[in-house]
Structure 1
Amino acid sequence: MFEQQTLIAESEVCAEAEVRALKGLLQPLSVAPVAPSNAGFQLPAQVWQIMLSCYGIFFFAIFLATGGSTAARFAIMISVLYTAIYFGVARLGARQAGREQTSPLDCGGKLPTWTGPMDRKAVFAQVLVVPATVSLFGIGILIIVLAVGPGA
């Protein structure tokens, strides 16, 4: 009999504590919701242009290196389409949150990252090292094919 009364008393105390906690969380209905800012990637447009140019150079060099092989050129065109889809879907997804904030690099500042602020040169080097290497790889293949000759 005493146990039941204790349980009732505990549940009343818990209910009062929950009501007090909920009152602190309630906001007035007249406050308009504030849209979050979209920091986005905060990379300058020039980075994206250089990146896409590097991949374009790679595909063009490989296209030239394959000579007249229809099968190879067909495979290259499929790869170009996959690359376009990859960057296109990423662009669509990034635009869902609205216009991005202006990059701090365009304003003369540094880009904040997990490991600390980075200047323009460091950002360009880290973001563009892979696309630049891929384009140099394509150019290297083209040079080798031209040096060896079509009959080899």
Structure 2
Amino acid sequence: MYEQHDFPNVDVGDAAAELEALDAAFLPHAAPLVPPANPGFQLPRRLWLSMLACYGVFFGAIAIATGGSGAARFAIVISVLYTFVFFGVARIGARQAGPEARSPLDRGQALSTWTGPMESRTVFAQVLIVPVVLALFAIGIAIICALSA
């Protein structure tokens, strides 16, 4: 079962030299040191403020729509706290890397994304669509509650 196999003598010196030449040709070379950049979220401050304002309108309209219910107010306060935690943790995490570069949208340039550059209007539309719809939804509920009372 365990037979002895005799393999022909092969000169590995040439093969080793060929492998080293291939490694030198295909392995990446060391890049020069470049100081790290912190592009951050690359969204302008006014976009973040608009998003927070939409959530403020949402919570305010829901508070008006639910009236003086203690349980509803408690749930709204908890939701507001969760929203502060969500945005607060993102802000704390973003500040860990140091000051962010100014947004390309503030400089009049397009925002680079994985799918290509995006103009300011497109970025605002994509980021604000959900908060705006939530705010309009809550305003609609508040109007319906006011008209039905």
Matched length: 141
> Is the helix fraction higher in 1 or 2?
1
Judged with a 3 Å threshold, the aligned counterparts in structure 2 of structure 1 residues 4 and 77 are, in CA distance, closer, same or farther, namely farther
SS at match of 1:112: strand
Q: Which amino acid aligns with 2:77?
A: M
Cα deviations across residues 48-76 of structure 1 (Å, max 9, x unaligned)?
A: 00000000110011111111100110011
Separation in structure 1 between the aligned mates of residue 29 and residue 115 of structure 2, nearest angstrom: 37
Equivalence for 1:135 = 135
Separation in structure 2 between the aligned mates of residue 25 and residue 59 of structure 1, nearest angstrom: 54
TM-score, length-scaled by structure 1: 0.77
Judged with a 3 Å threshold, the aligned counterparts in structure 2 of structure 1 residues 107 and 77 are, in CA distance, closer, same or farther, namely same
Q: Which amino acid aligns with 1:137?
A: F
SS at match of 1:117: strand
CA RMSD of aligned residues (A): 2.8
Equivalence for 2:82 = 82
Q: Does 1:13 align with 2:10?
A: no
Equivalence for 1:99 = 99
Equivalence for 1:36 = 36
Judged with a 3 Å threshold, the aligned counterparts in structure 2 of structure 1 residues 80 and 4 are, in CA distance, closer, same or farther, namely farther
SS at match of 1:68: coil
Deviation, structure 1 residue 109: 1.3
Separation in structure 1 between the aligned mates of residue 29 and residue 61 of structure 2, nearest angstrom: 62
Equivalence for 1:47 = 47
Identical positions, percent: 54
Separation in structure 1 between the aligned mates of residue 98 and residue 7 of structure 2, nearest angstrom: 59
Separation in structure 2 between the aligned mates of residue 25 and residue 131 of structure 1, nearest angstrom: 45
Q: Which amino acid aligns with 2:81?
A: L
Unaligned runs of 5+ in 1: none
Equivalence for 1:121 = 121
Judged with a 3 Å threshold, the aligned counterparts in structure 2 of structure 1 residues 34 and 141 are, in CA distance, closer, same or farther, namely same
Q: Which amino acid aligns with 1:110?
A: A
Is the deviation greater in 88-97 or in 73-82?
A: 88-97
